[in-house]
Structure 1
Amino acid sequence: MRRASRGVSPPPRALAVLVQGQTELERGRAHYSDPYDPKTGSFPFAVYKAAEVKGRLEDLFHGKCAYCETVYASSAPVDVEHFRPKAAVEGDDQHHGYWWLAMVWENLLPSCIDCNRRRRQVTPTGSASLQTLDENSRTLGSSAVLSSGKKDAFPIAGVRARSENDPLAGEQPLLLNPCDDDPEEHLLFYTEGTNPISLVLPRPDAAATPDPEAGDPAISQRGAVSIQVYGLNRLGLVQERTRVLRRLEFLEMLIIELGKLAEDLETGATGAIVPVAVKRLHFLQDQILAELRRMAAPQAPYSAMVKVWISQLRERLSAAP
């Protein structure tokens, strides 16, 4: 999750759609003003799902989920998510949702289906390698099956608004909104150590009072709740982040080795340094080829495309003078 600037209002086309939604809002207001009959269910708001609104949200978040940063377009259409749920509030049977915010721009976020919809997800409880994660995707291994996904969840620490006349300022949401909060103040990516997997952890909270009996430092409550509700450590997501982390480690190795090689060539005696430089260049070439093989492995994403590209690379290298 990363911070995003929403802007004061949506662009004209999206704004026009949401303004048209005022008629729908009036119908929703009439629906909820009658003595509530549970059999009638929630009001079926739909204008917020207009193409113009989806398009602007996709532009705002670069086609990524607002919560987990997954590029959702490659596998599923975007869910237009309501930060404050529009039809119900989990754990409060008397609350009919923040229906009056169904068409409010500030309450809309783009989400992948795994962050938005409640599903049972395999979640790593500890692992040391990407291979272990791949194995856990087929067997539970060192993982647990947890229920995650926002759906109607909206936990708060303050007083809940129950009607459109109630203030929202006193709610104190426990979920992070990337347009209103700085996620870096509450979330920490674990990326250190030997072959780490990319887990998201709640950041230590220096302002909180630690529990002496627990023996652990105080952590951001909002960070911890957001990780659990959004499912930021679900197995598939951890796998993809870890693959990116491995690419970053590979690039780090190239940067360091090339820098050392350039320094040796600049400062070393020309005659003595050439054999060493050639050896290190062959080492870097081997590392790049090994990375290409990893990208073409059956468990790697888009490996079929990578295999074709490697085959064409061989042809280009063979034809090179």
Structure 2
Amino acid sequence: MIKVDRSQVSKPSALDKKNKAGKTETERAIEHYTSPTFDGTTNFDFKIYSDSEVKQALINLFKGKCAYCESTFLHVYSGDVEHFRPKGEIEEASPHKKPGYYWLAADWHNLLLSCRNCNQKLSHSLYGIGTKKTMGKMNQFPLSDLTKYVRKHDNVNGIADEEPHRLLLNPCIDNPEDHLEYGDEGVIRPKKDAGGNKSVMAEKSIDVYVLQRMYLVQSREKKLIEMQAQIQRVKEATENYNDIIGSPDTTKKFYFERILKREMEGLKKFLNPKEEYVGMARQVVGEFLRVNFGITI
């Protein structure tokens, strides 16, 4: 997971589309859930979030990758338009799970692009665990204090009252690098602070988004091996260049300098936001560049 600047992509106009009565979907949803006849169970038919303009805007924003796990999938699947705060119900809320954040169903800042493995409830094998388990975000939205859920659209301070208690990382709000780190074999884990305490947001996000699912870890490991191989090529190119740098043979110096530049460019490609698992690359490649070349990414 990496930080994503939502301002890079404009809000899709479709989200403010009005019906023949001149009302937006958000206005109609508010009327539905605040109506005296609402029985607490009847769902509103949300549609606008799935508009093709909205989907394309999210694809552009997240570079065709899942906002949570950074896997690419557009070559086999169009992706889910994910509601960070769930629109229909809140799994952890009590005593009533319904409705969810109905007034945010068409809110641009509440929408992300997700793969089905992070977003939907599916059966997964986790890294290091043999048995399968049904996991995935779906309608989960845990808070550190379950009494702090904002359940109405007209709350004076809006969602701000709830934010200090939010436990899930949002790549458009938080910097995931402050919370997540990567280990051998592509595993992901919570970072620890100076006191040795694990990031609670990282722990909960890894669990809810299923970021330790076996096939995802294997995919990250494959990318990690590619990074390490390219780092080795840069090391060798650097040694060769340093060996010849004092030589009067300018042709040889130019030759080895060109090789070093080529290998460095190959390494930096892992940091391109369009690539998979840039969060891991920023840790692995970033540390190598900082220590060996004084380059801060």
SS of residue in 1 equivalent to 2:229: helix
1:173 corresponds to: 166
Q: Does 1:183 align with 2:172?
A: no
Residue in structure 1 matched with residue 132 of structure 2 by the alignment: 145
| Aligned-partner residue type, residue 4 of structure 1 | V
Structure 1: state its 5+ residue gaps: 126-141, 191-195, 211-216, 271-321
Matched, 1:20 2:17: yes
Contact 2:9–2:61, Cα closer than 8 Å, also in 1 = no
Matched, 1:218 2:197: yes
Partner-residue secondary structure (3-state), 1:168: helix
User: Distance in 1 between the 2:36 and 2:106 partners?
Assistant: 21
**Pair member with larger Rg:** 1
Query: Does residue 1:118 correspond to 2:121, yes or no?
Result: yes
Task: Identify the range of structure 1 (220-229 vs 28-37) with the bigger mean alpha-carbon deviation.
Answer: 28-37
CA-CA distance at 1:267 after TM superposition:
6.0
- Partner Cα distance (1:146, 1:203) in 2: 25
Alignment match of 1:37 (pick from 36, 39, 48): 39
> Which one-letter code corresponds to 1:230 in the other structure?
Y
Task: Give the conservation status (yes or no) of the 8 Å contact 1:124–1:144.
Answer: no
SS at match of 1:58: helix
> SS at the partner of 2:17?
helix
Judge conservation of contact 1:48–1:102 (CA < 8 Å) in 2: yes
Shift of 1:26: 2.8
Structure 1 residues 254 and 155, CA gap change in structure 2 (3 angstroms): same
Partner of 1:6: 6
Q: Which one of 165, 184, 198 corresponds to residue 186 of structure 2?
A: 198
Identity of aligned residues (%): 36
Q: Using the alignment, how far apart are the partners of 1:182 and 1:111 within structure 2?
A: 18
CA distance in 1, matches of 2:244, 2:39: 80
SS of the residue 2:54 aligns to: helix
Quick one: higher RCO (CA 8 Å, sep 6+), 1 or 2? 2
Query: TM-score, with normalisation over the residues of structure 2?
Result: 0.73
**C-alpha distance in structure 1 between counterparts of 2:246 and 2:130, whole Å:** 51
Normalised to the residue count of structure 1, the TM-score between the two structures is 0.68
What is the rounded CA distance, in whole Å, between the counterparts of 1:119 and 1:240 in structure 2? Answer: 18
What secondary structure, in the 3-state scheme, does the structure 1 residue paired with 2:7 have? coil
Paired with 1:8 and 1:70, the residues of 2 have a C-alpha distance of: 20
2:166 corresponds to 1:164: no
**Rounded Cα–Cα distance in structure 1 between residues aligned with 2:50 and 2:87:** 13
Aligned 8 A contact 1:9 1:105 in 2: no
Q: Deviations over 1:104-144 (max 9, x none)?
A: 1110111011111011211112xxxxxxxxxxxxxxxx544
2:295 is matched with which residue?
A: none
Measure how far apart 1:62 and its partner are. 0.6
Change (3 A) 1:256 1:87: same
Letter in 2 for 1:55: Q
